[in-house]
């Protein structure tokens, strides 16, 4: 029998294998494990490095948008130029255009230079007048129109300086680059330095980046994300008020009430497919359905919100269904066992337990919608919008922009100062997304139940 | 698709309530990205200096803008289409079919197309023939049509620097590309005498195509993005040469060096005088039916072409627009609401 020969052959491997001495096979397995760990670590390291590089480039470019250089000078509002009839009639003052105010600012700056004995060699008249942002004359005009009594007085004005001088104090522009730059000159920067020496020019924290509307290509220093934030907010409101009730209702029905048959299977597959549809497709649908068919206005947050609602619905439905599925059947059985109706068991017991999951899914869906640009391209929201939309509900129909759209717009502008603005807008967008994710985590922690 | 049905019914209800509320009080503009900066500058100034709201300006390209423009008349269609080329007769037809019968054409000025390279690089003096010989797919060598194999600029013409040929040209979706092909490549084809050789060897129609075909071996790179992308490419590939709009170059003179073309340095002056050949008119088109319906539309159009804005001393010229010597005629046409006649 084979028994007789077996012990002899079995004894040989036994004597070789020992727990203290690692054999070839074990060594190989250990090596494979080490390699795998190294792969994993390097994957994480690559991801981290990419993240750090991305964050560094965005923050180093964009942090400048939150600081802005201002000039404080006394401006004489010459009555002869602003109010020729001398009767302080607001209608007459309105006829004076911003160009006149620009000239007043220019004269005031020249006066300041002579008073303080600032002389810069080889400075052109254009360099002096261009030092002050073109936005300043519009601000001054609005101030005078709001209070016509100011005409004839000398007021202290705090005005923006042009984007190049501002860039000089943020390290974007140097004397060497200014010499080659047709929009500034070393003499202009020297004048700025001289004004800074007198304490009139300072670089300060810039709240107006968050509150100002967009500005045209000639005045990057005045551009802000105010309209974009408001537009994004309005769209999120629309998404919240439409996608959440519709999505949650649809998933409760599908998960708890719908019969399991071929039709519901098809619906399920379609929802999963919809979640993977490229967002631009929803934009095309939005253009056809909401603007061309329903006659909604272009560039309005309501249309953007509706399109994003369609885009977010599948995400919310899938997340809600997963959350409902995660509630143990025993909860439902117990509720039904004590005599609750199907609906009572769902609304009194299942839904509260699924809430953290639903909220997380909703917020993730909203965050995804917040960062979306492509569908907005087709419905006219990728636009230059200067006026703030009114308060809801009316404001939902006014033109507005959105945060990712603002980033997209600014990266296309010729003036390099807009690159800084674009990065600044990205920072704002990232902060919003971070806040939303934090809220999601907080809600999950607070309401989560473990069984 | 239950959810979709639910969604549609809910949305339909909102839509129904919305149509009542939407009385548009701001002007809607769309179209060319070349005209966009000028349109935003004017829109901003218009909002500041009048009681009308600031017009909303979209970009997206001349063709896309004109397509939107020709969708019909009414409050949810745009009022003005910006275009970096004249409207085509097919587009006028499409407009007519959709009910947009009276179109006002307004020429705001001219835009130059310039060739610029990295500020620290070599100086270039181009001619149209140089560009053709450097970038065309087929060139004429010793009387024969051969594939273009030139790799350095000094192979094209001995006066040019010893530098690799690498050009970033606008992609085919840009209006600038058409002008580049027509006024530089096709002109160079004629100028270098290649057009004759092509005609002799390939026939009339094929010759025209051969004159426009750019090489595909990586020496000529299509840029489908904006000039900002071209600039970024030049900053990473220092021997590259980019095709830019004059206004973009004027805003980035600290990074770019411009080459002369046919011995002329591009500037608003040389283009206005007609010395610099590579330029094109810029337009916008207005729906006459919307004047009176949309508040401030006529005022905006008049404001746009006024001397204070579009004139040689105005902000548009400061930004890089070559102001139209016949601006007064345009102003008169706008005042009398003259429409296209074809």
Per CB-CB distance under 8 Å, the chain A contacts of B247 are: 414
CATH number of the domain to which A310 belongs: 1.10.3720.10
Q: How many domains does chain A have?
A: 2
Nearest to A312 by CA among A362, A251, A278: A362
Nearest CA in chain B to A313: B3
Nearest to A392 by CA among B13, B11, B14: B14
- 282-301 of A, contacting B, C-beta below 8 A: 289-292, 294-299
The answer to whether A306 contacts B58, with C-beta atoms less than 8 Å apart, is no
Per CB-CB distance under 8 Å, the chain A contacts of B21 are: 394, 397
DSSP assignment letter at A118: -
SS3 A399: coil
SS3 B221: strand
Using CB atoms, pick whichever of A242, A302, A387 lies closest to residue B47. A387
Q: How many angstroms away from the CA of A404 is the closest CA of chain B?
A: 15
pLDDT in tens, B133-143: 999 888 888 77
CA distance B191 to B204: 17
Nearest to A324 by CA among A245, A242, A249: A249
Largest CA distance in chain A: 129
Using CB atoms, pick whichever of A180, A254, A313 lies closest to residue B253. A180
Q: How many angstroms away from the CA of A290 is the closest CA of chain B?
A: 7
Whether residue A429 is predicted with pLDDT greater than 80 in this model: the reply is yes
Per CB-CB distance under 8 Å, the chain B contacts of A138 are: 48
A109 and A240 share one domain: no
Mean pLDDT, all residues of chain A:
89
Hey, which residues does B139 pair with through a beta bridge?
B146
Q: Is residue A19 part of a domain?
A: no
Whether residue A7 is predicted with pLDDT greater than 60 in this model: the reply is no
Q: Is residue A212 part of a domain?
A: no
A195 and A260 share one domain: no
Q: Does A390 touch chain B (CB under 8 A)?
A: no
Q: How many angstroms away from the CA of B250 is the closest CA of chain A?
A: 7
* Residue extents of the structural domains in chain B: 23-110+281-335, 112-279
* A409, A214 contact by CB (below 8 A): yes
Nearest CA in chain B to A377: B60
SS3 A72: strand
Q: How many angstroms away from the CA of B44 is the closest CA of chain A?
A: 7
The answer to whether B43 contacts A247, with C-beta atoms less than 8 Å apart, is no
Q: Is residue A153 part of a domain?
A: yes
CA distance A269 to A73: 67
The answer to whether B59 contacts A382, with C-beta atoms less than 8 Å apart, is yes
The answer to whether A397 contacts B21, with C-beta atoms less than 8 Å apart, is yes
B23-110+281-335 CATH choice from 3.40.190.10, 3.40.50.2000, 3.60.40.10, 3.90.1150.10: 3.40.190.10
Whether residue A82 is predicted with pLDDT greater than 60 in this model: the reply is yes
Alpha helices by DSSP H, listed for A253-372, are: 262-275, 279-286, 301-325, 329-337, 342-344, 351-370
Domain limits at A348?
Answer: 226-447
The answer to whether A309 contacts B37, with C-beta atoms less than 8 Å apart, is no
Structure tokens at B258: 């411009």
Mutation site, A301, A386, A389, interface B, largest B CB count within 10 A: A386
Per CB-CB distance under 8 Å, the chain B contacts of A411 are: 228
pLDDT in tens, A261-295: 999 999 999 999 998 899 899 999 998 899 888 88
Kindly tell me the sign of the dihedral angle through the C-alpha atoms of A337, A338, A343, A348. Answer: negative
Q: How many angstroms away from the CA of A29 is the closest CA of chain B?
A: 46
Using CB atoms, pick whichever of A138, A294, A380 lies closest to residue B15. A294
Give the pLDDT score at B1: 46
Give the pLDDT score at B269: 86
Q: Does A189 touch chain B (CB under 8 A)?
A: no
The answer to whether A298 contacts B78, with C-beta atoms less than 8 Å apart, is yes
Hey, which residues does A202 pair with through a beta bridge?
A70
Mutation site, B36, B56, B223, interface A, largest A CB count within 10 A: B56
The answer to whether A271 contacts B11, with C-beta atoms less than 8 Å apart, is no
CA distance B23 to A296: 10
The answer to whether B251 contacts A183, with C-beta atoms less than 8 Å apart, is yes
Helix axes A279-286 and A301-325, enclosed angle (nearest 10): 130
A202 and A233 share one domain: no
* B83, B65 contact by CB (below 8 A): yes
Using CB atoms, pick whichever of A217, A380, A419 lies closest to residue B58. A380
A272 and A408 share one domain: yes
Q: How many angstroms away from the CA of A385 is the closest CA of chain B?
A: 5
A261 and A166 share one domain: no
Per CB-CB distance under 8 Å, the chain B contacts of A267 are: 1-3
Q: Does A254 touch chain B (CB under 8 A)?
A: yes
Q: Is residue A256 part of a domain?
A: yes
- 42-81 of A, contacting B, C-beta below 8 A: none
The answer to whether B11 contacts A297, with C-beta atoms less than 8 Å apart, is no
Per CB-CB distance under 8 Å, the chain A contacts of B228 are: 411-414, 419
CA distance A116 to A112: 6
Query: For chain B, which ranges sit under pLDDT 50?
Result: 1, 16, 18-22
A378 and A305 share one domain: yes
The answer to whether B6 contacts A380, with C-beta atoms less than 8 Å apart, is no
Nearest CA in chain A to B6: A246
CA distance B57 to A365: 30
Q: Does A100 touch chain B (CB under 8 A)?
A: no
Using CB atoms, pick whichever of B56, B71, B255 lies closest to residue A299. B56
Using CB atoms, pick whichever of B26, B53, B253 lies closest to residue A182. B253
Nearest CA in chain B to A268: B1
Give the pLDDT score at A1: 45
The answer to whether B1 contacts A394, with C-beta atoms less than 8 Å apart, is no
Q: Is residue A21 part of a domain?
A: no
Helix axes B327-335 and B297-304, enclosed angle (nearest 10): 170
A321 and A264 share one domain: yes
pLDDT in tens, A192-249: 999 999 889 999 999 999 999 999 988 999 999 999 999 999 999 999 999 999 999 9
Structure tokens at B92: 């006028």
CA distance A214 to A228: 8
The answer to whether A246 contacts B10, with C-beta atoms less than 8 Å apart, is yes
DSSP assignment letter at B289: G
A410 and A269 share one domain: yes
Give 3-state DSSP helix, strand, coil % of chain B, rounded to 5: 45, 20, 35
Chain A with chain B: Cβ pairs closer than 8 A:
163
Using CB atoms, pick whichever of A216, A242, A270 lies closest to residue B1. A270
Could you list the beta-strand ranges (E) of chain B.
Answer: 28-31, 56-58, 80-83, 103-118, 125-126, 138-141, 144-147, 167-170, 220-223, 241-245, 256-258, 260-261, 279-287, 322-323
CA distance B108 to A241: 45
The answer to whether A180 contacts B24, with C-beta atoms less than 8 Å apart, is no
Mutation site, A94, A185, A231, A297, interface B, largest B CB count within 10 A: A297
Nearest to A143 by CA among A157, A132, A122, A129: A157
Give the pLDDT score at A406: 93
A117 and A258 share one domain: no
Share of chain A above pLDDT 90, in %: 53
Q: How many angstroms away from the CA of B144 is the closest CA of chain A?
A: 43
A201 and A236 share one domain: no
Nearest to B322 by CA among B123, B114, B118: B114
CATH number of B112-279: 3.40.190.10
Q: Is residue A313 part of a domain?
A: yes
Using CB atoms, pick whichever of A246, A254, A387 lies closest to residue B7. A246
Give the pLDDT score at B8: 55
Q: How many angstroms away from the CA of A298 is the closest CA of chain B?
A: 6
The answer to whether B53 contacts A291, with C-beta atoms less than 8 Å apart, is no
A305 and A382 share one domain: yes
Kindly tell me the sign of the dihedral angle through the C-alpha atoms of A361, A366, A367, A372. Answer: positive
Per CB-CB distance under 8 Å, the chain A contacts of B7 are: 242, 246, 309-310, 313
Q: A438 to each of A271, A363, A449, B184, how far by Cα in Å?
A: 27, 10, 19, 56
Q: Is residue A399 part of a domain?
A: yes
Q: Is residue A101 part of a domain?
A: yes
- Please give the average per-residue pLDDT across A155-169, as a whole number: 91
Hey, which residues does B112 pair with through a beta bridge?
B279
Whether residue A343 is predicted with pLDDT greater than 60 in this model: the reply is yes
Give the pLDDT score at B12: 53
Spacing of C-alpha A193 from chain mean position? 34
């Amino acid at each position: 029998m084979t028994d007789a020969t077996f012990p002899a052959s079995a004894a040989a491997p036994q004597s070789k294998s020992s727990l203290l001495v690692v054999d070839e096979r074990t060594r190989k397995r250990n090596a494979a494990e080490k390699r795998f760990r190294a792969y994993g670590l390097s994957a994480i390291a690559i991801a981290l490095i990419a993240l750090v590089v991305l964050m560094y480039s965005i923050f180093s470019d964009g942090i400048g948008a939150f600081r802005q250089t201002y000039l404080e000078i006394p401006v004489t509002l010459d009555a002869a130029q602003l109010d020729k009839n001398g009767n302080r009639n607001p209608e007459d003052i309105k006829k004076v255009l911003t160009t006149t105010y620009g000239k007043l600012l220019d004269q005031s700056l020249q006066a300041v230079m002579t008073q303080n004995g600032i002389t810069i060699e080889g400075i052109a008249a254009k360099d002096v007048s261009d030092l002050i942002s073109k936005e300043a004359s519009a601000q001054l005009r609005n101030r005078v129109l709001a209070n016509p009594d100011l005409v004839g007085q000398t007021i202290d004005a705090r005005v923006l300086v042009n984007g190049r001088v501002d860039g000089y104090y943020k390290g974007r522009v140097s004397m060497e680059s200014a010499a080659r730059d047709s929009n500034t000159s070393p003499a202009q920067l020297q004048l700025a330095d001289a004004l800074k020496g007198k304490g009139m020019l300072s670089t300060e924290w810039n709240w107006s980046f968050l509150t100002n509307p967009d500005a045209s290509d000639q005045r990057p220093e005045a551009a802000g994300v105010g309209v974009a934030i408001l537009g994004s907010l309005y769209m999120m409101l629309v998404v919240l008020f439409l996608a959440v009730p519709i999505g949650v209702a649809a998933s409760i029905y599908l998960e708890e009430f719908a019969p399991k048959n071929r039709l519901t299977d098809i619906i399920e597959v379609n929802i999963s497919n919809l979640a993977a549809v490229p967002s631009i497709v929803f934009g095309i649908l939005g253009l056809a359905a909401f603007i061309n068919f329903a006659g909604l206005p272009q560039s309005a947050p309501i249309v953007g919100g509706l399109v994003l609602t369609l885009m977010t619905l599948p995400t919310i439905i899938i997340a809600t269904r997963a959350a409902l599925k995660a509630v143990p059947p025993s909860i439902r059985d117990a509720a039904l066992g004590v005599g609750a109706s199907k609906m009572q068991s769902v609304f009194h017991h299942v839904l509260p337990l699924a809430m953290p999951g639903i909220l997380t899914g909703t917020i993730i869906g909203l965050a995804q919608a917040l960062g979306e640009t492509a569908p907005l391209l087709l419905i006219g929201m990728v636009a230059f919008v200067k006026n703030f939309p009114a308060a809801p509900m009316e404001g939902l129909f006014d033109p507005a922009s959105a945060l990712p759209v603002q980033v997209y717009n600014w990266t296309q502008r010729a003036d390099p100062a807009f690159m800084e603005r674009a990065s600044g807008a990205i920072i704002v967008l990232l902060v919003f997304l971070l806040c939303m994710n934090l809220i999601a985590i907080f809600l999950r922690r607070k309401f989560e139940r473990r069984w | 698709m239950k959810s979709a049905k639910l969604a549609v019914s809910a949305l339909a209800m909102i839509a129904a309530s919305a149509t009542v509320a939407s009385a548009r009080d701001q002007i809607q503009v769309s179209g060319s990205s070349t005209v966009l900066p000028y349109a935003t500058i004017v829109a901003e100034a218009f909002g500041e200096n009048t009681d009308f709201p600031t017009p909303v300006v979209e970009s997206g390209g001349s063709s896309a803008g004109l397509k939107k423009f020709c969708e019909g008349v009414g409050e949810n269609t745009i009022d003005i289409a910006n275009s970096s080329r004249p409207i085509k007769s097919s587009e006028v037809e499409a407009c007519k079919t959709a009910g947009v019968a009276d179109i006002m054409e307004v020429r705001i000025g001219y835009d130059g197309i310039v060739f610029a390279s990295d500020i620290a690089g070599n100086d270039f003096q181009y001619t149209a023939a140089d560009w053709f010989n450097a970038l065309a797919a087929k060139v004429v060598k010793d009387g024969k049509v051969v594939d273009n194999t030139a790799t350095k600029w000094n192979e094209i013409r001995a006066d040019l620097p010893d530098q690799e040929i690498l050009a970033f040209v606008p992609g085919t979706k840009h209006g600038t590309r058409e002008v580049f092909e027509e006024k530089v490549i096709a002109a160079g084809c004629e100028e270098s005498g290649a057009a004759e050789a092509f005609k002799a060897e390939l026939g009339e129609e094929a010759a025209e195509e051969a004159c426009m075909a750019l090489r595909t071996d990586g020496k000529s790179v299509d840029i489908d993005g904006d000039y900002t992308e071209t600039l970024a490419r030049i900053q990473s590939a220092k021997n590259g040469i980019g095709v830019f709009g004059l206004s973009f170059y004027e805003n980035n003179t600290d990074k770019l060096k411009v080459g002369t073309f046919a011995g002329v340095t591009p500037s608003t002056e040389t283009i206005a005088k007609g010395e610099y050949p590579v330029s094109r008119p810029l337009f916008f088109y207005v729906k006459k039916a919307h004047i009176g319906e949309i508040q401030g539309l006529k005022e905006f159009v008049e404001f746009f072409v006024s001397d204070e804005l579009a004139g040689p001393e105005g902000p548009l010229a400061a930004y890089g627009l070559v102001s139209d010597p016949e601006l007064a005629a345009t102003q008169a046409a706008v005042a009398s609401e003259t429409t296209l006649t074809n």
